[in-house]
Amino acid sequence: MGRPTSELASSFLGLLLLLLCCPQGCPGRAEPPAPPDKIAIIGAGIGGTSAAYYLRQKFGKDVKIDVFERGEVGGRLATETLDGREYEAGGSIIHPLNLHMKRFVKDLGLSAVEGSSGLMGVYDGEKLVFEESRWFIINIMKLIWQYGFQFLRMHMWVEDVLDKFMRIYRYQSHDYAFSSVEKLLHALGGDEFVGMFNRTLLDTLEKAGFSEKFLNEIVTPVMRVNYAQSLDINGFVGAVSLSSAGSGLWAVEGGNKLVCSGLLQASKSNLLRGSVMSIEEKKKTKQAGNPSKMYEVVYQIGSEIHSGFYDIVLVATPLHQKMSNITFLNFDPPIADFHQYYQPLVTTLIKGQLNTTLFSSRALDNFDLSAILTTDNPDLFIYSIGMQHPVKAKDHLEPTDGKNVWKIFSQDILTKQQISKLFLSYDYAVKKPWLAYPHYTPPEKCPSIILHDRLYYLNGIEFAASAMEMSAIAGYNTALLAYHRWNGHTDMIDQEGLYEKLKTEL
Ligand SMILES: Cc1cc2nc3c(=O)[nH]c(=O)nc-3n(C[C@H](O)[C@H](O)[C@H](O)COP(=O)(O)OP(=O)(O)OC[C@H]3O[C@@H](n4cnc5c(N)ncnc54)[C@H](O)[C@@H]3O)c2cc1C
Ligand SMILES: *[C@@H]1O[C@H](CO)[C@@H](O)[C@H](O)[C@H]1NC(C)=O
Ligand SMILES: *[C@@H]1O[C@H](CO)[C@@H](O)[C@H](O)[C@H]1NC(C)=O
Ligand SMILES: *[C@@H]1O[C@H](CO)[C@@H](O)[C@H](O)[C@H]1NC(C)=O
């Protein structure tokens, strides 16, 4: 609880200094401060690059924006090449109502492709407990037959959460910012939203009267494919995850990571291919005169160590030693590792012929599922397996050899034996291990956005839910927050009753 008070104290001090600094008498309305000279962003994933895009819009053309990236631009949006074609290996699927992603694609002149729309089945280690049909009406009847009207109620619950969630777009288009993830979510859905962090999805859905069968056979498999966890995750990320079970899902033609490189270019930022090692606040004399406080960012390119001074710093990567390893030097109170646990996950891409009799005793030609999710059975060594199309439409050809490309999510790297259990034969396999997203353990507390005066952190939002759109929302929010705090626009931060206020404004 130390931070809000010290925040207050420092802004009070700022006001005092401002009053002392104009002995000739200050004008009634303070001049807007000069824009910052330099801003650093650490991480060129969707969070960092969307922040760069909006920072440029807010602060204008003169500010110098450096984006540090030690790996590939795109971060967890990445492709892997198999048999000469590229496939999504990280974040793949975008919801039709993810409006920031949609706008980026439009603004950048990219195009969208439909997400794979095949049929889905759920495997429990012995048999398929649920199987989609080609016929919409049969699906509905199957669902009602097996689970009563629960799927409809589930759909309504998710729609309600989504409906409130959509308010963020209106707030952001009116330039409003939030200083914490909890405040942002509170502005969307009040105590109900924030309360979802405190309870597991299981708890939330059991209270709402959903049956164990429905939870095990439908909801759990969706959580496993999206977040490699079960019903023990928080209710909010659970709802986000369930919303991906709808229709109209899409991806970016050529690969989702193109959004990141596009935003980087459009923002006219300077990409520094190096690894940031430490951040420290130091006194620095600018050309103009008085010494002011800046952040020194120390980074490594190859074996050389460099450093630069910045007015504002945005950390757009999880503060997790294995993922970013950034040391914050001499901050009071100290800024430490948040001890966040990220879920290990392996993406394996295989071109081969699936042994379909493993899942269903029906003949090979009758097997028309293109995605198989799994229940929470400890004997299963995969979370899911699904047929995958290349990211480029021109590479999208029907295989002549009967061998499709499949994408498997598993906790560990698959052994040869495990792969041959799943496939009759295969030619190629590539694997990509991730620390994919937070391991959710409600009650959840999201790490701070404001780490220090002008030092911000984007990835706390992942503890509400990790998704491309969430990082884009955090990127926009942080850009607005940094801008308003720089200019002293406190009336644009953490406003109560925004929904009502903006409703009457339009
Ligand atoms: C397998 C998988 C499947 C997923 N599926 C989906 C999906 O279908 N839909 C969806 O919406 N989301 C999905 N996600 C989640 C989504 O990919 C992430 O939430 C999102 O990409 C996170 O973006 P980010 O910019 O916040 O972080 P990141 O993409 O992790 O970016 C951080 C960047 O910072 C760089 N970096 C770290 N430390 C340093 C340092 N010290 N110096 C310089 N650079 C540094 C890293 O190299 C990285 O590029 C999936 C994730 C995974 C792993
Ligand atoms: C959630 O739990 C925390 C304690 O873990 C509590 O302080 C907070 O008030 C709770 N929030 C809601 C909305 O229930
Ligand atoms: C983190 O960085 C320090 C030096 O800055 C280094 O000694 C250490 O090995 C790094 N740890 C990891 C896990 O990369
Ligand atoms: C395919 O899987 C089934 C069920 O596990 C198994 O009985 C069969 O031997 C497998 N087929 C081949 C060719 O490996």
Question: Checking DSSP bridges between strand 291-301 and strand 275-285, what pairing results, if any?
Answer: antiparallel
Q: Pick the ligand that lies closest to the CA of residue 234.
A: 2
491 vs 399, higher pLDDT: 491
Q: At 163, is the pLDDT very low, low, confident or very high (cuts 50, 70, 90)?
A: very high
What's the pLDDT tens digit per position in 69-101?
Answer: 999 999 999 999 999 999 999 999 999 999 999
Residue with tokens 């909006």: 54
Distance of CA 283 to the CA centre of its chain: 35
Residue 360 is predicted with a pLDDT of 83
CB atoms within 10 A of CB 338: 17
Ligand 2 cavity residues, CB under 6 Å: 191, 194-195, 198, 443
355 lines ligand 4 (CB under 6 A): yes
Q: Which residue is closest in CA terms to ligand 1's atom 1?
A: 90
- 120 and 373 Cβ atoms separated by less than 8 Å: yes
Alpha-carbon dihedral sign for residues 266, 267, 269, 275: negative
275 lines ligand 3 (CB under 6 A): no
Helix (H, G, I), strand (E, B) or coil at 200: strand
Q: Which residue is closest in CA terms to ligand 1's atom 48?
A: 75
- From ligand 3's centre to the CA of 327, what distance in Å? 9
What's the pLDDT tens digit per position in 164-184?
Answer: 999 999 999 999 999 999 999
> Which atom of ligand 3 lies at the shortest distance from residue 321's CA?
13
490 lines ligand 3 (CB under 6 A): no
pLDDT above 90 as % of the chain? 75
Question: Can you give the pTM of this predicted structure?
Answer: 0.92
Q: Which residues contact 465 (CB under 8 A, 6 or more apart)?
A: 236, 237, 240, 241
Nearest to 242 by CA among 212, 205, 271: 205
- From ligand 4's centre to the CA of 376, what distance in Å? 22
Q: How far apart are CA 384 and CA 223, in angstroms?
A: 11
- From ligand 1's centre to the CA of 77, what distance in Å? 6
Nearest to 22 by CA among 10, 8, 33: 33
